[in-house]
Copies of this chain bind each other. A is one copy, B any other.
Amino acid sequence: MDAPIGVFDSGVGGLTVVREIMRQLPSEDVIYFGDTARVPYGSKSKQTVLKYSKQIVRFLMTKKVKAIVVACNTASALALEDMRTDMEVPVVGVVRPGAKMAAEKSKTKSVGIIATEGTVKSGIYTEYIRQIDSDVTVIGKACPLFVPLVEEGLIEDRITDDMVDRYLSELKAYNVDVLVLGCTHYPLLANPIQRYMGENVTLVNPAYETAKELKNILRENGLVCSKDKSPVYDFYVSDGVDKFKSFANSVLPIHVDGVNIIDIESY
């Protein structure tokens, strides 16, 4: 089926998931929406994140998408279950694939999750991991400064190393052997995080697992793109076209030129 896949995030972070979809499903068309006018979602309530997510799904449905990827951990954690009930197309979030991978990889049965305040408070990673393996201990930690540090470009910097130390010392003390990067910005800090945690800790980036799950779901539902063709990628945002374009071009393997701005509140 040749309809596009809809992908959304609170801002630019979800482009790391789009990058994985491009790699694993190279013929599929993608419509991306980044809610750059209302970013970030990480510190907002369930009620608000659910309302925003529903507006975005309504917008994506006008584009006749055949499946939707919630490429935002906070929206996956707070809104996915409530949204799925009245959806006509399959919906994939980033939390369940990340949780599955974490449960499978851990030998010590001690898993760390770093994410936004909303995702950690929801307890959803813990719930999903323990559904797979109830022996696993899950330790969640919100890291609110990581997103602004990434956005300031402070990737290799003593301030970032200092914050990594403060946020992760507790997880290190618990001897976790798997750490889930539960916010789409965090994989950009993989180097300082890996350095601090040590080489024996496996970092899980849910983007990769999410694209894999999407592929399975498209297959199961007979929705895989029928032709081996050049894909079409369309980008929509609620604010700041130029800033988005520049980030997209630093993350994606294609050149992004046209980015469309829409009034998401009207959906």
Contacts and interface: CB of A to CB of B under 8 A. Distances in A.
Contacts of A48: 37, 238-240
A249 interface: no
Contacts of A152: 144-145
A239 B145 CA distance: 21
Interface string A32-63: 00001110000111011000000000000000
Contact of A145 (B36, B149, B158, B238): B149
A78 B260 CA distance: 22
A67 to B, nearest CB: 28
Interface in A151-171: 151-152, 158-159, 162-163
Contacts of A239: 44-45, 47-48
A161 to B, nearest CB: 11
Interface residues of A, number: 23
Interface of A: 36-38, 43-45, 47-48, 144-145, 148-149, 151-152, 158-159, 162-163, 238-240, 243, 265
A148 B48 CA distance: 21
A55 to B, nearest CB: 9
Contacts of A243: 43
A255 to B, nearest CB: 23
Contacts of A240: 43-45, 48
Closest 10 CB pairs of A and B: A148-B148, A48-B239, A265-B265, A37-B48, A38-B38, A45-B239, A44-B239, A45-B240, A145-B148, A159-B159
A163 B154 CA distance: 11
